[in-house]
Structure 1
Amino acid sequence: MAFGSSDRYQGQTTMSEINVVPLVDVMLVLLIIFIITAPLLTHSVKIDLPKASSNPNTTQPEHIEFAIRDDGSYFWNGETITLEQLAPRFTQSAENDPKIELHIRADKLTHYEHVARIMSLAAKSGITKIGFITDPTQE
């Protein structure tokens, strides 16, 4: 009896092909795992987003149109007004109509300091809706 004989291996050659069966098994298991877990990862939160339109906003008649020139002069609905007269007029307008809007139209070269002062006075007086009027035709 020859335990260590190499007679039975003499006719065989080494196998040079890759066994792909275990690789295919692993890939199928991974595919099944991804198919099961993918719907669990795509949960979404439902929120109610605002609807936007490209139509211009229509202005309601209850608003104050306030203009500021670049030299610092102020106009309330077309009439000249001084800075000292603004606070009482803003307070009176806010008391008469709490939903009144302030529309600010300022020259292109007006310093922001003037605009910020008007916005601050209006907010302290109780006017909560402040908007800016722009001219889209000018560049």
Structure 2
Amino acid sequence: MSFSTQDSDEVLSEMNVTPLVDVMLVLLVVFIVTAPLMTNAIKVNLPKTDAVAAADKKDPVVVSVDQDGKFYLAKSEVAPESLEISLKDVKAKDPEVRVQLQADTNVNYGQVAKAMASIERSGITKISVMTSK
């Protein structure tokens, strides 16, 4: 009686995928290198002109809330009730006004919410909240 062990008589049914992975990695590297080169496929000779001044970007209006909850509009203290009126005046002078909101870390969130509500009610839509890194 002979016992058969798995010798070389049987066919291996597993495929070696190592060469396939190597080929795919090479193709991936080629694609990554050539993809940025295909974005500028059309060559255009642009005309030369004189330098033009950039459009004037006006500085944004800064609304600040300090640690005591006091409101400031462009470095001058403003009562919380009159912040909205002052911002409406600023918007009347410049409809494209931008506002930067700065609030102290220790200030009550309610004060910041009041400032944001005043900015919104004044009709100003371009607002950015300033933070530090």
Q: Given the two structures, how large is their TM-score scaled by the length of structure 1?
A: 0.52
The equivalent residue for 2:63 is: 66
The equivalent residue for 1:96 is: 93
Cα deviation for residue 101 of structure 1 reads: 0.9
One-letter amino acid of the counterpart of residue 108, structure 2:
H
One-letter amino acid of the counterpart of residue 76, structure 1:
L
- Aligned to 1:123, the other structure's residue is in SS state helix
Distance 2:81 2:113 in 1: 16
Give the counterpart of 2:106 among 103, 106, 109: 109
One-letter amino acid of the counterpart of residue 99, structure 2:
L
Cα deviation for residue 61 of structure 1 reads: 2.7
- What stretches of structure 2 of length at least 5 have no aligned partner? 1-56
One-letter amino acid of the counterpart of residue 87, structure 1:
E
Distance 1:130 1:111 in 2: 20
Cα deviation for residue 106 of structure 1 reads: 0.7
1:71-82 equivalent positions in 2, closer than 5 A: 71-82=68-79
Distance 1:66 1:87 in 2: 11
Matched-pair identity in %: 25
- Aligned to 2:96, the other structure's residue is in SS state coil
Cα deviation for residue 63 of structure 1 reads: 1.6
Cα deviation for residue 107 of structure 1 reads: 0.6
Distance 1:77 1:96 in 2: 15
Cα deviation for residue 62 of structure 1 reads: 3.7
Q: Given the two structures, how large is their TM-score scaled by the length of structure 2?
A: 0.54
RMSD: 2.6
The question of 1:122 aligning with 2:111 is answered: no
- What stretches of structure 1 of length at least 5 have no aligned partner? 1-59
1:16-58: CA deviation from partner (whole Å, max 9, x where unpaired): xxxxxxxxxxxxxxxxxxxxxxxxxxxxxxxxxxxxxxxxxxx
Cα deviation for residue 84 of structure 1 reads: 2.1
One-letter amino acid of the counterpart of residue 67, structure 2:
D
